Chains A and B, each alone.
Chain A
């Protein structure tokens, strides 16, 4: 299986690639993991992982700056309908609009917005940083073998908001209920970092690799 981690200049890609490698090893899957932004390689991949660190705007601009990248991703996701996994801001980019620093368009694959977490009149610290429990919303292959209320590692100040509750795979609680994972057809994403969530995180990546559409 060929898996591409999309490299558009955002943060810690090495961890995502290494965690995928470990996950593939755990399930004896022979895999080729490439970190690149080359549209040709992306087109030939079986699945892609879209990481993201920093601001929504910087990440989206980073993708836009690379010729052919956003077109290739749209085709991969909407036309080819092959599996994509967005991590943190990578997942947030699935939304139509982000409101970090200024209003920025996202891919719009899910009817959603990304807005700052309500800090409850400064009662809550931001970023929402550390280990929090996730509440699984429905039976979902991404969380098979994962117990409800498992801990995952979060680090973010903005949250993914959608009225389309069918697409919410898991939530977490920080003052309010916050979307921890989304799922729509061939599109999955987690607000937390599976590549930083020790054994449970690797299990999620294994499930993504095992996914049969």
Chain B
């Protein structure tokens, strides 16, 4: 049976982890490779790097980070943040990423998702959707890390992305991101039911119960979280044991 995936996400800026695990025995807590190794040992199902480097001249640092991680961690790795062109995607894949997530450019560059899915295969193209609730049962797409409104309906957008060849949707609720109040379950469920590609729930996890809700109520295929794992509150094993106990299929 296919298992639900638990995906820890690391925010990386100029090659350094911004929000990371606070382990005292870590030689270099800011080194994304060191952090990735811990998640690998804990049995994470995938890893996600979000590159939040602001300046263009430092953008290539992420390639080096991906390269070093892929040499040490033999597990699936998704990398996103600032992906704008086919060349960006190619470089990340060549560095060792298995999947590349496209956010702002999926909205702004009309054919990027289609062209990249054709070129590299749908299996490695993730569309990262940042959605904000605007009224009951209506969500809108935001870009630029959630700062810019687009007026685009989120549900219509994910359907379109699937048609264009996206292999997966990474769905983040901007209302919940950073709140620790749990996923936007209405949104997650609507998107999961709408598309026939896997959906990763993201944004708002503050407890293990939230992961359970994302899968059970939100019908997500995978759940992503950052801070609950980073600050050593819970390990990946804790999350998996909890989900297993609640009857959710996970890889233990």
With A55-B121, A196-B75, A198-B75: A125-B1 Cβ-Cβ less than 8 Å: no
Stretch among A76-84, A104-112, A129-137 lining the B interface: A129-137
CB-nearest residue of chain B to A58:
B121
Asked whether B146 is an interface residue with its Cβ less than 8 Å from the other chain, the reply is no
Option from A12, A127, A133 in Cβ contact (under 8 Å) with B167 = A127
Chain B's interface: helix, strand, loop or mixed, by majority? loop
Which chain A residues lie closer than 8 Å to B2 at the CB level? 128, 130-132, 154, 174
Name A's interface SS.
mixed
Contacting B93 at CB < 8 Å: which of A11, A153, A173, A195? A11
* Residue B87, interface by CB 8 Å: no
- Please determine whether B222 and A130 come into contact, CB atoms closer than 8 angstroms: yes
Q: State whether the Cβ of A118 lies closer than 8 Å to any Cβ in chain B.
A: no
Contact of B45 with A by CB under 8 A: yes
User: Smallest Cβ distance from A194 to chain B, in angstroms?
Assistant: 8
On whether A173 and B1 interact (CB within 8 A), knowing A12-B98, A127-B197, the answer reads yes
Tell me, in angstroms, the Cα distance from A202 to B1 when the chains sit together. Answer: 22
Q: Is B67 an interface residue (CB 8 A)?
A: yes
A96 part of interface (Cβ distance < 8 Å): no
Could you tell me if B120 and A132 are in contact, using CB atoms closer than 8 angstroms? no
On B, residues with C-beta under 8 Å from A are: 1-5, 40, 43, 45, 67, 70-71, 74-76, 93-98, 119-124, 167-168, 195-198, 221-222, 251
User: What are the 8 A-B residue pairs with the smallest beta carbon separation, nearest first?
Assistant: A54-B121, A131-B251, A151-B251, A131-B3, A14-B96, A132-B2, A155-B123, A18-B71
10 contacts between A and B (CB under 8 A): A14-B67, A14-B95, A15-B98, A53-B123, A54-B120, A125-B196, A131-B251, A155-B98, A196-B74, A198-B43
